[in-house]
Structure 1
Amino acid sequence: MSGEREACLLVVTRDDDVRGTTTAELTRRYGGDYEVRSCASPEEAAATLTGDGPPVAVLLGGFGDADPDGLAELRALHTRTPGAVSVALVRWGAWDTARPIFDALTVGQLDRWLTAPQVRGDEEFHRLVTEVLEEWSSRRSGGFQAVRVIGEQWSPRSQQLRDSFSRNRIPLGFLDAGSRAGAEALAALGLTEPRLPVVSIRFTREPVVLQDPTDLEIADAFGLFTPLDADVVSDVLVLGSGPAGLGASVYAASEGLSTLVVEGEAIGGQAGTSSLIRNYPGFPTGISGSRLAFSAYQQAWAFGARFHFMRQGSGLETTADGLHRVALSDGTTACARTVVVATGASWRRLGVPELEALTGRGVFYGAAVTEAPAMRGRHVFVVGGGNSAGQAAVYLAGYADRVTVLVRRATLTETMSDYLIRELEALPRVDIRYRVQVTGGSGTDFLESVVLGDLDTGEETTEEGVLFVLIGSEPRTDWLAGTLARDRWGFLLTGSALLADGVTPAWPLERPPAPLETSTPGVFAAGDVRAGSVKRVASAVGEGALVVTLVHAHLAAMRAAEGSGAQVSAPAARG
């Protein structure tokens, strides 16, 4: 029977009751797809792992009175099943196990924990098991492929497409065009000398094959490219679908406002690239940025928000009657009574010319989680000292032989959450190097070596490795220069900051600006694009929620002004 199943669920505990009830529940619910094994001791489990059989997907190890050393034994077994999700299994009411489990989770020695099932058909238990199996599935390739990309492994465009599809949670398959499988796939599509990358869309009624397509061509093929009617006026236009934009979209749509969301890349923004966010309220074992973002997208969509993808703002004009017209990159225009700019920020570049030429070919900006499996056997350098860099390093440590975090500062305590610092320090494959920066590198088709400079001594060393760069952000506001007031770094000024001397454009009304309002009344900013924002997912969602309250107030003022003939916006058209 084991040969018929793709993977195994392994239960290891000396507690006979826990082992019996857990194994029975797993077998009844998952036995058709997974082989379920149970062992009464770690020694028995270790012996079974040396034999034939499917790989272990989930390793459930007992911890409690019967298994006092269960966490250590679980870690030891996990080294023999590196692809599995390690789960501590405890009896209900065993409160004394909580602190050791939480500590193990914090330092990355454990993936999850479960309470053993209490009754037959324990749905809370099965809900958590399903989440664990989803996590295991996301770590591996294969399965349903809604889209297949065939291209050069390290082509920047191929990498961009893989990242975009994955962040939008579209089941994806990738084949290197230079491989035998890639050549066979191209031949099956009737392509001999195609323009790479080739995107094969396989979920449509008739398969669609695109050669080196633009983002707009892909959106059109997906049925997502709906022309915008410039005469339709929305209550609120949200630019960007990161945490702030999604927060605004959910609350605006749920409160009955006609809501249009425009997104140029992928749902989730920078947060969508995070492999595991551990400190977002409500998810004690963490949640991936893409899953969190996609759930919020579905929520806003269900409330009635309209989403338009693969286009972004290119100009903003506000008319004397208080309407805002946003020119979009596809040549269309969106019109709304209020605008929420939540375009976020892009990763700051290293500025080393020889490395810029290798972007996507050994030099990656952002977490680029889709590239993690290709890091096996490599030394990975993660450049950056914030939470995003820490999360990327933890995730990459599950694949790379070695991960080195490069930090310009002398400490991480001011820029990274404590739980992440402790996890990095505990991971055996991770080391942290302080007061160092990347000054150069070389490679032809792929990055071969990097040059690292010691900021204190000036000494430089050349080492082999791959770079993942997460060194801060640059706001996506160039298209708003001269239209909205910005600080010297390009972040949008809001609220009382607009009343400082020398701010241009100046605030035009007698009333003070609302807390998240920009220099154009009725245009708000939320999230990382705003000067003074807190770089946390929860705070960005909070700003998105808060801005809807300000939108309501502005719309009420507009209605009142229409009745009296007064103005609530600028005295003349602005652009």
Structure 2
Amino acid sequence: MSDEQRAALVVMTRDDGLRSSVSRELDRRYGRDYVVLAVDGPAAARARLAEHAGLPVAALLGGFGGADADGLVCLRELHQAHGGALAVALVRWGAFETAGRIFEAVTLGQLDRWIYAPEWQGDEEFHLMVAETLEEWSARQGGGFEAVRVIGDRWSERAQHLRDSFTRNRIPLRFYEADSVEGRSLLAGLRLEQPKLPVVQLRFRPGSPVLEDPSDLDIAEQFGLFESLDPDAVYDCVVVGSGPAGLGATVYAASEGLSTLAVEPEAVGGQAGTSSLIRNYPGFQNGISGNRLTFSAFIQAWGFGATYRFMRAAVGLRTEGGLHHLALSDDTTVRARAVIIATGAAWRRIGVPRLEEFTGRGVFYGAAVAEAPAMGGRHVFVVGGGNSAGQAAVYLSRYADRVTVLIRRPDLTTTMSDYLIRELEALPNVDIRPRVQVVGGTGEDFLESFTLRDLDTGAESVESGVLFVLIGSEPRTEWLAGTLACDRWGFLHTGAALSDPGVAPAWPLERPPALLETSVPGVFAAGDVRAGSVKRVASAVGEGALAVTLVHAHLAAAGAATH
């Protein structure tokens, strides 16, 4: 075995022809990096893998149907001993009779994905699906190229924030605990004796700059993200936020020739960017991580010519002389003929003061994908009953010993998609505990225990474990208070809702507002920030695209009015 071969690819099928063609294609394309093992069943697979003791398994590719009528059973049997591998069904093109069982197995989490077997030498569709499988496995493992190194205390809230931000922005990262052997060695190599943690080394920048306890602005400046904006520029459209709605708006605005500026204070993707796997977004048969989906949209918008400014938040909005003036957190102001507000929403805090003290140290808001590998051997509790909570629970179940989903309702049927409910119910290490509320917690440096209250009986119990909190969201509209009409929760009123006489500020024009237009003409809202929006990624992207159509109409009308 070559030193470069880092994992095994197991092909398991009783179909001699299928086994031969798949293993031949894999060996031809991936043989230098992976050991390809072709076997006819679990017993043979275990024997072959024993010959390569210590070698991880990247993927288990198993036949399904025909000679492999029990293929799913065989895959599951082998997968139990190699949980880090991806379980993949091999499907012959045209074997449509297996489709129902495969889709059901994927839905229940018994398969990670399925791929078509190769039909000819160099079948690129087959290799594309294999490459996607290996990329997912590699992403789960971490390691590889380290563009950025972070050295710090694992349970520091600041270190957790940095790991999460870099991960969401798809920046190759490795984290080192400061008191580990590797961490101490790195700090010594950087000649840092008593550094302010966390330490961030940007290895891809000239000179590999090292930052001690840097702010987000410090990091953005070192990344080269602070190019000055032309103070005299007037953009056709400024998009505030780069979650799904903001990305949809920016892609369409830039692709249709509008001069477009997108402003984002944190990371691309918003809440969707933290989802480990989105399976109901059209066009992705095996699902796609929120991180990959949204980052690809960012690159797409950038390629169309959109200008991005990161680590800047919008802090104020005023309209004067037909232009909208957007004040930013870096004390600059940009001007635009139209504005699309797509700031989305932040995770609602749990509201238990004692637990807030443990944020990043046993209490995490959102999916916190970067923290999942550290959950090995732990009991994880996911608080929340929406799709984001379900996706987080599924992902965390790959690492944690046990996952318990805590919900206030009697069941999940009214808050979570059916496919996720079925997957959670099928996972052997996931429980759902209804009608409970987290009311307290204890610990010193890390959350040690927390208190649950039964909402029917009032009885309380003490549990030990880590909390991931996904209990709904609050709109990021505090900076618009008094400027745009909002409902009592802060979500922006748009379109027909502005005709309500109780809405303030009132719509100022004789013409009715456009569908996504706010109480200020030429300012639109899209996605989760909008009152009455559907909290789904696809609908947010659609609203962002629709907002651009309305921007065109607004610009055309404004142009006509000036002539």
TM superposition score normalised by structure 1: 0.97
User: In structure 2, what is the equivalent of residue 403 of structure 1?
Assistant: 403
User: In structure 1, what is the equivalent of residue 307 of structure 2?
Assistant: 306
Alpha-carbon distance in 2 for matches of 1:457, 1:500? 42
- Residue pairs, 1:204-219, within 5 angstroms: 204-219=205-220
User: In structure 2, what is the equivalent of residue 9 of structure 1?
Assistant: 9
Structure 1 residue 76 and structure 2 residue 71: aligned? no
Alpha-carbon distance in 2 for matches of 1:353, 1:230? 44
Is the CA contact 2:380–2:404 (under 8 Å) kept in the aligned structure 1? Answer: yes
Is the CA contact 1:105–1:112 (under 8 Å) kept in the aligned structure 2? Answer: yes
Is the CA contact 2:4–2:32 (under 8 Å) kept in the aligned structure 1? Answer: no
For the residue of structure 1 that corresponds to 2:334, the secondary structure is strand
User: Following TM superposition, by how much is the alpha carbon of 1:4 offset from its aligned partner in structure 2, in angstroms?
Assistant: 4.2
User: In structure 1, what is the equivalent of residue 107 of structure 2?
Assistant: 106
User: Following TM superposition, by how much is the alpha carbon of 1:2 offset from its aligned partner in structure 2, in angstroms?
Assistant: 5.5
Paired residue type of 2:248? G
Q: What CA deviation, in whole Å up to 9, does each residue of 1:103-126 have, x standing for no partner?
A: 000010100111110000000000
Q: What CA deviation, in whole Å up to 9, does each residue of 1:510-568 have, x standing for no partner?
A: 101001000000000000000000000000000000000100000001101111xxxxx
Moved more, 171-180 or 221-230: 221-230
For the residue of structure 2 that corresponds to 1:416, the secondary structure is coil
Alpha-carbon distance in 2 for matches of 1:354, 1:227? 43
User: Following TM superposition, by how much is the alpha carbon of 1:229 offset from its aligned partner in structure 2, in angstroms?
Assistant: 2.6
Alpha-carbon distance in 1 for matches of 2:375, 2:382? 12
Alpha-carbon distance in 2 for matches of 1:225, 1:175? 28
User: In structure 1, what is the equivalent of residue 148 of structure 2?
Assistant: 147
Alpha-carbon distance in 1 for matches of 2:249, 2:345? 17
User: In structure 1, what is the equivalent of residue 325 of structure 2?
Assistant: 325
- Residue pairs, 1:119-138, within 5 angstroms: 119-138=120-139
Alpha-carbon distance in 1 for matches of 2:490, 2:353? 23
User: In structure 2, what is the equivalent of residue 45 of structure 1?
Assistant: 45
Is the CA contact 1:381–1:404 (under 8 Å) kept in the aligned structure 2? Answer: yes
CA RMSD of aligned residues (A): 0.8
Alpha-carbon distance in 2 for matches of 1:480, 1:280? 31
Moved more, 464-473 or 502-511: 502-511
Paired residue type of 1:513? P
Q: What CA deviation, in whole Å up to 9, does each residue of 1:68-123 have, x standing for no partner?
A: 00001101100111111110112222111111110000010100111110000000
- Residue pairs, 1:540-559, within 5 angstroms: 540-559=540-559
Alpha-carbon distance in 2 for matches of 1:388, 1:79? 26
Alpha-carbon distance in 2 for matches of 1:323, 1:385? 42
Is the CA contact 2:200–2:213 (under 8 Å) kept in the aligned structure 1? Answer: yes
For the residue of structure 1 that corresponds to 2:38, the secondary structure is strand
How many residues matched?
A: 562
User: Following TM superposition, by how much is the alpha carbon of 1:467 offset from its aligned partner in structure 2, in angstroms?
Assistant: 0.2
Structure 1 residue 458 and structure 2 residue 458: aligned? yes
Is the CA contact 1:64–1:91 (under 8 Å) kept in the aligned structure 2? Answer: no
User: Following TM superposition, by how much is the alpha carbon of 1:448 offset from its aligned partner in structure 2, in angstroms?
Assistant: 0.4
Alpha-carbon distance in 2 for matches of 1:73, 1:100? 15
Alpha-carbon distance in 2 for matches of 1:404, 1:49? 33
Q: Point out 4+ residue stretches in structure 1 off by more than 4 angstroms.
A: none
Aligned residues: percent identity? 70
Structure 2 gaps of 5+ residues are: none
Alpha-carbon distance in 1 for matches of 2:425, 2:33? 38
User: In structure 1, what is the equivalent of residue 492 of structure 2?
Assistant: 492
Alpha-carbon distance in 2 for matches of 1:271, 1:166? 13
Alpha-carbon distance in 2 for matches of 1:344, 1:178? 38
- Residue pairs, 1:57-96, within 5 angstroms: 57-96=58-97
User: In structure 1, what is the equivalent of residue 237 of structure 2?
Assistant: 236
Alpha-carbon distance in 2 for matches of 1:4, 1:503? 65
User: Following TM superposition, by how much is the alpha carbon of 1:48 offset from its aligned partner in structure 2, in angstroms?
Assistant: 2.1
Structure 1 residue 423 and structure 2 residue 423: aligned? yes
For the residue of structure 1 that corresponds to 2:144, the secondary structure is coil
Alpha-carbon distance in 1 for matches of 2:117, 2:95? 11
User: Following TM superposition, by how much is the alpha carbon of 1:503 offset from its aligned partner in structure 2, in angstroms?
Assistant: 1.1
Is the CA contact 1:229–1:333 (under 8 Å) kept in the aligned structure 2? Answer: no
User: Following TM superposition, by how much is the alpha carbon of 1:42 offset from its aligned partner in structure 2, in angstroms?
Assistant: 2.2
User: In structure 1, what is the equivalent of residue 246 of structure 2?
Assistant: 245
Q: What CA deviation, in whole Å up to 9, does each residue of 1:214-251 have, x standing for no partner?
A: 11110110111122233210000000000000000010
TM superposition score normalised by structure 2: 0.99
Is the CA contact 2:37–2:48 (under 8 Å) kept in the aligned structure 1? Answer: no
Is the CA contact 2:62–2:75 (under 8 Å) kept in the aligned structure 1? Answer: yes
User: Following TM superposition, by how much is the alpha carbon of 1:411 offset from its aligned partner in structure 2, in angstroms?
Assistant: 1.6
Paired residue type of 1:500? D
User: In structure 1, what is the equivalent of residue 440 of structure 2?
Assistant: 440
Alpha-carbon distance in 1 for matches of 2:208, 2:411? 53
Alpha-carbon distance in 2 for matches of 1:277, 1:423? 13
Alpha-carbon distance in 1 for matches of 2:3, 2:303? 42
Is the CA contact 2:410–2:435 (under 8 Å) kept in the aligned structure 1? Answer: yes
Is the CA contact 1:167–1:273 (under 8 Å) kept in the aligned structure 2? Answer: yes
Alpha-carbon distance in 1 for matches of 2:24, 2:442? 56
Alpha-carbon distance in 2 for matches of 1:256, 1:43? 60
User: In structure 1, what is the equivalent of residue 467 of structure 2?
Assistant: 467
User: In structure 1, what is the equivalent of residue 358 of structure 2?
Assistant: 358
Moved more, 398-407 or 218-227: 218-227
Alpha-carbon distance in 2 for matches of 1:228, 1:197? 31
For the residue of structure 2 that corresponds to 1:72, the secondary structure is helix
Structure 1 residue 341 and structure 2 residue 341: aligned? yes
For the residue of structure 2 that corresponds to 1:325, the secondary structure is strand
User: Following TM superposition, by how much is the alpha carbon of 1:52 offset from its aligned partner in structure 2, in angstroms?
Assistant: 2.8
Alpha-carbon distance in 2 for matches of 1:440, 1:346? 22
User: In structure 2, what is the equivalent of residue 388 of structure 1?
Assistant: 388
